[in-house]
Amino acid sequence: MDKELQIYNTLSRKKELFTPLHPPLAGLYVCGPTVYGDPHLGHARPAITFDILFRYLSHLGYKVRYVRNITDVGHLENDADTGEDKIAKKARLDQLEPMEVVQYYLNRYHKAMDALNVLPPSIEPHASGHIIEQIRLVKEILDKGYAYESEGSVYFDVPKYDKEHKYGILSGRNIEDMLNTTRELDGQEEKHHSVDFALWKKASPGHIMHWSSPWSEGFPGWHLECTAMSKKYLGDVFDIHGGGMDLIFPHHECEIAQAVASTGHEGVRYWVHNNMITINGQKMGKSLGNFITLEEFFTGNHAMLAQAYAPMTIRFFILQAHYRSTVDFSNEALQASEKGLARLLEAYENINRLEAKGSGVKDEIGVLESNCYRAMNDDLNTPIAISNLFEASRIINSSISGQTTVSGEDIDSLKKLFETFLFDLMGIKDEMKDGGASYESFAKVVDLLLDMRLQAKQSKDWATSDKIRNELTALGFEIKDTKDGFEWKLNK
Ligand code: ZN
């Protein structure tokens, strides 16, 4: 079977066959969160996108070293070289140690990622734990002549680098345009050119996070951490660097410049970027009132949400779009995903009810399986893979209703198709089954209550029988009396 993954490389602007530098090892570095606020939808998409890549590469037999950093220093408010550090600001406002802010939101981030069934990376390094590596990298760039010191800070000399190596290859921006559109420096500033970026910043008197360096008591620039940490854990050249499209410029562009300036060559072989999420067609933002945290989605506790959405609904919804397309959240779209996922999970459950009746649909299932692989190999096309699972559901349902016959081998292949693609690769789990107590024990308790209700009815204890029925109904159970006893299902 063809299992050759073609992945879209933002740098070459085309799909390329993935061939790791040191097979069977595959190195994957993804820019992780800046932890100064509750995890929201914007965190879910890159986490899920690269979780799929991580799962698929592992499935293909690669030994993946997946590094996802925690930005806990140096990310200034306006994404440039000025403004307050986002974590330090939160710490100041809440009267906390910066690391208390980091730990608090990191715990919440991990909890949300667990709920979304995002696998933990192999290494999760903190920028603040790698100051020595970052200082060493600044020295290397200074030694190579691509940076300069100014008033205790160190800046990357973008025009000088551009002359020799071309700055802007990832984003397609060009330095003349950037110089034309950015304001003129007023001569008071430390930077030589408006396009230069900080490698090291001298801490101002009120700045609470700072370390000693040869240049000043200060802190590293935001872009530096990823270059330093990817180099440390994956080497000077590694396979895949991922992140959201919003990071292409300036963050990843600066990472390329830092790597080339320090080593003389590029460090990343495939640049992979996920597209953004909008809410009802608008960009998500605190000022627009459409900023929804993951916890608010899970509890339904937000004015814009018509109901609570299970983590798997969010995950499935994100996977129903290709990672390079935009995703627009709306109640209607999420409700449609919720129904779609329920249909797939029900079809999977129904496989257990299928009876082997001789001649089967081996060829059709074989086609669906190779379609799923073809979709995943084609730049992780999860929506196409999902549509093939819906096709498989149709086979299952038509076999249940007696229109199709399946063989024992077909039943096994259908099971394997769902287990491989829906559960192992898409990372969907049946929340009803996996939510702490098993579904089986949960179902037994409901059966027990309904048995008690049946006995109460037989002894004409209407009060008890009604109480059980009413309370279960209020909890969302639909109960149907049948000639053999009862049937129930949970509607939520
Ligand atoms: Zn980064």
Longest dimension (CA), the chain: 93
Is the model's pLDDT at 369 over the cut of 70? yes
| pLDDT bracket for residue 187 (50, 70, 90) | low
Residue 447 CA to ligand 1 center (angstroms) comes to 52
Q: Where are the domains of the chain?
A: 6-274, 279-432, 437-490
Residue 34 CA to ligand 1 center (angstroms) comes to 10
Residue 70 CA to ligand 1 center (angstroms) comes to 9
Residue 73 CA to ligand 1 center (angstroms) comes to 12
Residue 122 CA to ligand 1 center (angstroms) comes to 16
Is the model's pLDDT at 402 over the cut of 70? yes
Residue 31 CA to ligand 1 center (angstroms) comes to 4
pLDDT at position 476 is 84
8 Å CB contact between 21 and 237 = yes
pLDDT at position 413 is 97
Residue 429 CA to ligand 1 center (angstroms) comes to 30
| pLDDT bracket for residue 387 (50, 70, 90) | very high
pLDDT at position 96 is 86
Residue 120 CA to ligand 1 center (angstroms) comes to 17
Q: What is the pTM of this model?
A: 0.86
Range with the poorest average pLDDT among 46-60, 209-223, 342-356, 442-456 = 442-456
Residue 171 CA to ligand 1 center (angstroms) comes to 15
pLDDT at position 439 is 52
Residue 336 CA to ligand 1 center (angstroms) comes to 34
Residue 50 CA to ligand 1 center (angstroms) comes to 14
Residue 25 CA to ligand 1 center (angstroms) comes to 22
pLDDT at position 116 is 97
Residue 291 CA to ligand 1 center (angstroms) comes to 23
Residue 273 CA to ligand 1 center (angstroms) comes to 12
Give me the percent of the chain exceeding a pLDDT of 90. 72
Residue 408 CA to ligand 1 center (angstroms) comes to 50
Residue 105 CA to ligand 1 center (angstroms) comes to 18
Residue 246 CA to ligand 1 center (angstroms) comes to 11
Residue 284 CA to ligand 1 center (angstroms) comes to 21
- Across 331-348, average pLDDT: 96
Range with the poorest average pLDDT among 47-61, 98-112, 176-190, 454-468 = 176-190
Residue 274 CA to ligand 1 center (angstroms) comes to 14
| pLDDT bracket for residue 82 (50, 70, 90) | low
pLDDT tens for 239-296 read 999 999 999 999 999 999 999 999 999 999 999 999 999 988 888 877 777 889 999 9
- Across 164-189, average pLDDT: 83
Residue 127 CA to ligand 1 center (angstroms) comes to 10
pLDDT at position 436 is 44
- Across 132-148, average pLDDT: 98
Residue 409 CA to ligand 1 center (angstroms) comes to 47
Which fold, 6-274? Rossmann fold (3.40.50)
Residue 265 CA to ligand 1 center (angstroms) comes to 19
pLDDT tens for 7-37 read 999 999 999 999 999 999 999 999 998 888 8
- Across 342-363, average pLDDT: 92
Residue 218 CA to ligand 1 center (angstroms) comes to 20
Residue 297 CA to ligand 1 center (angstroms) comes to 27
Is the model's pLDDT at 420 over the cut of 90? yes
Residue 296 CA to ligand 1 center (angstroms) comes to 27
Arch. (CATH architecture) of 279-432: Orthogonal Bundle (1.10)
106/323 Cα distance (integer angstroms): 24
Residue 242 CA to ligand 1 center (angstroms) comes to 9
pLDDT tens for 425-449 read 999 998 776 554 445 567 778 888 9
Residue 33 CA to ligand 1 center (angstroms) comes to 9
Residue 144 CA to ligand 1 center (angstroms) comes to 23
pLDDT at position 206 is 81
Residue 32 CA to ligand 1 center (angstroms) comes to 7
